[in-house]
Amino acid sequence: MTFKDTFFSKKTSLNCRGKLLDLSAPRVMGILNVTPDSFYDGGRYVTDDLIKERIDMLVSDGADIIDIGACSTRPGASEVSSDEEMRRLEPAMTYTRRQYPDAIISVDTFRAEVAVKAITICEADMVNDISAGRADPLMLDTIAGLAVPYVMMHMQGTPATMQVNPVYDDVVKEIISFFAERLQKTSSLGIKDIIIDPGFGFGKTIEHNFQLLKGLKAFSVFELPVMAGLSRKSMIYKSLGISSDEALNGTTVLNTLALLNGVNLLRVHDVKEAKEVLKLFMAYKAGGEGGSNW
C-alpha cells in the first residue's frame, strides 16, 4: 500500500460552505491585505472606500477566491491582537459577502478565534493558515468543527525568525515530511478539504525557493490541491535587482513554471494577469493533447 493510498483519494473540488470550487483546472486566489505593513501592498487598503475598490477589482478581474488578511507576516512586522485583526477584517468581509453573495471568501489567519468569527459572523468560506495549525493549538480542532476548506502552509520558524539563516538538507523532502505529519493530524480529526502550500519565502533562502519551485511535482504524492504564493516575492525582485513594484513580469514567469509543475491554485496580487496566464496555460495543455499540426 502506498502513502497516498493510505491517506487520500484524488481531490478535484472543495466544498466551501455549499459552494463547490472545481479545481480540475487551475484557479486564482486574489489577495487583499487590510494591513498597514504587508511587504508589497501594506497601507494601500486602509480606508473603507479603498477596500471596496480593491474588492470590486478582484471580483471584476475574475478572482476565484478572495483572500483577506489583517495581520502582516513579513519579517519584523508588528504584532496585532486578535481583536484588532478582527476589527480590520470585518468591514472587508461584510462588504464582500453583501455585494458579492456568491464569492468565495478566505480568511488569512493563524488564530482559531479569528477563524471562528470570520466564518460564523462574516460568512467567510475557508481558512488560510500560514502556520498549518502550529501557531494556535486550537486551530485544527476548530477547522474540524467548522467543516470548511483549510489551506495549510509550511513555514520554518516564525514570521519574526523565519529568514534568520534558514537551513535544509533537502528542502523538498523536508517539506513533504512536514506535510505528512500535519496530514496525519488532520486525517485523525476528519478534516477533508485541504490545500497544501509549500510556503515560498517563509523560512527559505532564494536558492531554497527555486529548488522548491523546481520540485513542486513531488507534492502530488498527497493527491491534494497545491497552492503557490509567488506573487512579487523577494525571490523575484532580489534575483532581478528590482523592487516588488516592478516584479509583475517575474511573477508571471514563476506562476507559469508553477503551473507546469502541477500547481492548482495561484495566490496573487494581480488577478487579471494571473487569469491570462491560466488561459494561455490551458490552451497550451489542449494543444499538447491534440498532437502536432505539422
Instruction: Give catalytic residues, as residue numbers.
Output: 233, 267
Residue type, 141: D
Helices (H) and strands (E) in the chain, counts: 10, 10
**Rounded distance between C-alpha atoms, residue 8 and residue 23, angstroms:** 16
- Note whether 67 and 103 are within 8 A (CB): no
Residue 29 grid cell = 486566489
CA-closest candidate to residue 47, choices 99, 96, 107, 92: 92
Whether residue 250 contacts residue 240, with contact meaning beta carbons closer than 8 Å, is answered with yes
Strand partners, 73: none
Q: Report the candidate in 111, 190, 179 with the shortest Cα–Cα distance to residue 145.
A: 190
Residue 174, amino acid: E
Q: Please answer whether residues 47 and 91 qualify as being in contact, where contact means their C-beta atoms are separated by less than 8 angstroms.
A: no
On whether the CB atoms of residues 111 and 85 are closer than 8 A, the answer is yes
